[in-house]
Amino acid sequence: MNLEKNRKTADLLTICNKARKTVKGFDSVKQCAAEGKAFCVITASDASPKTIKETEFVCGRYGVPVLASGLSKDELAGLCGKSTAVVAVTDKGFAEAFGRILGAEK
């Protein structure tokens, strides 16, 4: 990931978090996806392969796109206030913006 993508992702995630349109942590993200409230899920660059696999499985079941970010767990923690490898976005507009920034990677 390049620095520009990371900066845009971090900026948008900050706004999204302040608007209370994020859900942090695997179990909370899983529940959010099951309830149909998640529009996309962002993963940390240093998330474990097991976490990514489980996230993609759960999100695939509910049709939620998984976007790989270039931000580490520590960087996500600084932006979201909680150490986590996955963040769900609960607003369609924000999710579409993340899709444009991160290129709808899976």
Q: Reduce the secondary structure of the chain to three states and give it as a string.
A: CCHHHHHHHHHHHHHHHHCCCEEECHHHHHHHHHCCCCCEEEECCCCCHHHHHHHHHHHHHHCCCEEECCCCHHHHHHHHCCCCCEEEECCHHHHHHHHHHHCCCC
Check residue 64 and give its pLDDT. Answer: 94
Q: List, for residues 1-41, the tens digit of each pLDDT value.
A: 488 888 999 999 999 999 999 999 999 999 999 999 999 99
Give the C-alpha separation, 28 to 46, whole Å: 19
Check residue 4 and give its pLDDT. Answer: 86
The parent domain of residue 12 ranges over 3-102
CATH number at residue 81: 3.30.1330.30
Q: How many structural domains comprise the chain?
A: 1
Residue 106: pLDDT over 60: no
Residue found by looking up tokens 């097991």 in the block: 50
